[in-house]
């Protein structure tokens, strides 16, 4: 039973300031780079103090989970932002040509992180299905074709990551449960993405209706599936029970949409429910989703509570 995170963590306020200064031309790239590296160090320290077993760098460089990758892959172009709700916008990429590997996506981040921590590392990257679903398609005949092409690109990145020592890759696919009718495409895409990737692979999903993707999702070629549960009051656990869930479970048990800090006891109770479904060695305890939208002190407290709950339970269960 290990603790981990989904990926993002609140950015230090000073980093946001410096990113803005960089955009306004007030500081140069070297200045910004140093700020990124320092912010990763501080985030890693937060995770280490909280006691999280498997960590990532808090995604200090990623402002958003689609365009960050699209900007680094051949065949994408970003014309501008579109609304996702209310007055919130994201840069929605367009696929304008054949998708091809160009720049590394997380390789440098991984290597840097490896150099500053002894903790186990998980590398999260947005999956092919989600990136395509959240992009315009001007080039490929079908969405399916675009997804498979992008899956090949990501497969190369995953293999490069393994070459330099990555052992745990997480494919982020929040869009999958929002299109249950395309689950077959998503499944095939995962197979392409993990082909020849000699690492532990998890897939993270949030939003949408989980029931609609069961039991198909159990056939995905991954070691672990990570779901959000706290946000849905753990009701979805019964779906897993119904379908004899048999993969490792990433167990989102901290609500990232609420600033209320959970009590250790309620987290322990939640984990006990998860243990009715998988054995402790197949359970990865984490927050529901990335924590970037929380105030930093709240995120830190939540991580501490999560780790404490796991430690106490381990002691109680003698594992």
Partner 1 sequence: MIVTTVVGSYPRPDWFREYLRKVAGLQKDLDVEIDIDVLRRAISEVIDEQKRAGIDIPTDGQLIWHDFLLTIASRLEGFEMNGLVRYFDNNLYYRIPIVKGKIRRVKRILHDFEVAFEIESKIKAVISFYTLTKLSRNEFYGSYEDMLWDLCDAIREEIRYLESIGVKYIQIDEPSILYAEKRELEFLRDLFKELTDVKSETILMTYFDSAERIFPEVLDFGFDTIGLDFVEGYEENLKIVEEFSFEGINVGIFDGRNTKMEDLNEIRERLERIISIGNFKRIYVSPNTGLEFLPRIKAYEKMRLVSSLKEVFE
Which stretches of the chain bind partner 1, using CB under 8 A?
79-89, 92, 94, 133-134, 136-138, 175, 178
Q: Which is nearer to partner 1, 94 or 188 (CB)?
A: 94
CB of 135 to partner 1, least distance (A): 9
CB of 206 to partner 1, least distance (A): 13
Q: Which is nearer to partner 1, 42 or 94 (CB)?
A: 94
Q: Which is nearer to partner 1, 77 or 120 (CB)?
A: 77
CB of 141 to partner 1, least distance (A): 12
Spatial separation of the C-alpha atoms in residues 36 and 19, rounded to whole Å: 9
Report the b/e string of 35-47 with b at 16+ CB within 10 A: bbeebbbbbbebb
CB of 243 to partner 1, least distance (A): 24
Give the residue among 162, 38, 170, 176 at the shortest CA–CA distance from 112: 38
CB of 140 to partner 1, least distance (A): 11
Q: Which is nearer to partner 1, 82 or 164 (CB)?
A: 82
Q: Which is nearer to partner 1, 134 or 210 (CB)?
A: 134
């Amino acid at each position: 039973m290990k603790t981990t995170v989904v990926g993002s963590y609140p950015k230090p306020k000073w980093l946001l300031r410096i990113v803005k200064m960089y955009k306004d031309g007030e500081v140069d790239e070297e200045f910004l780079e140093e700020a990124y590296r320092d912010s990763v160090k501080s985030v890693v320290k937060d995770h280490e103090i909280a006691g999280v077993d498997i960590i990532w760098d808090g995604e200090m460089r990623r402002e958003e989970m689609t365009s960050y990758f699209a900007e680094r892959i051949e065949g994408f172009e970003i014309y501008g932002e579109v609304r996702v709700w209310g007055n919130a916008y994201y840069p929605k990429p367009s696929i304008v040509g054949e998708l091809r590997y160009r720049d590394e996506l997380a390789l440098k981040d991984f290597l840097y992180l490896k150099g500053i921590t002894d903790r186990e590392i998980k590398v999260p990257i947005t999956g092919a299905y989600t990136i395509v679903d959240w992009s315009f398609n001007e080039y490929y005949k079908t969405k399916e074709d675009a997804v498979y092409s992008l899956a090949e690109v990501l497969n190369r990145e995953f293999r490069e990551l393994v070459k330099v020592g990555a052992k745990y890759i997480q494919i982020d696919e929040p869009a999958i449960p929002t299109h249950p009718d395309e689950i077959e495409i998503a499944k095939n895409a995962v197979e392409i993405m993990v082909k020849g990737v000699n690492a532990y692979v998890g897939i993270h999903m949030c939003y949408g209706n989980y029931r609609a993707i069961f039991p198909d999702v159990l056939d995905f070629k991954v070691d672990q599936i990570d779901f959000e549960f706290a946000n849905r009051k753990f009701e979805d656990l019964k779906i897993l029970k119904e379908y004899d869930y048999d993969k490792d479970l990433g167990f989102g048990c901290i609500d990232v949409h609420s600033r209320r800090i959970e009590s250790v006891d309620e987290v322990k109770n939640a984990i006990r429910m998860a243990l009715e479904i998988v054995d402790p060695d197949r359970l990865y305890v984490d927050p529901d989703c990335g924590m970037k939208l929380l105030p930093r002190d709240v995120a830190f407290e939540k991580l501490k509570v999560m780790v404490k709950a796991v430690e106490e339970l381990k002691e109680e269960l003698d594992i």
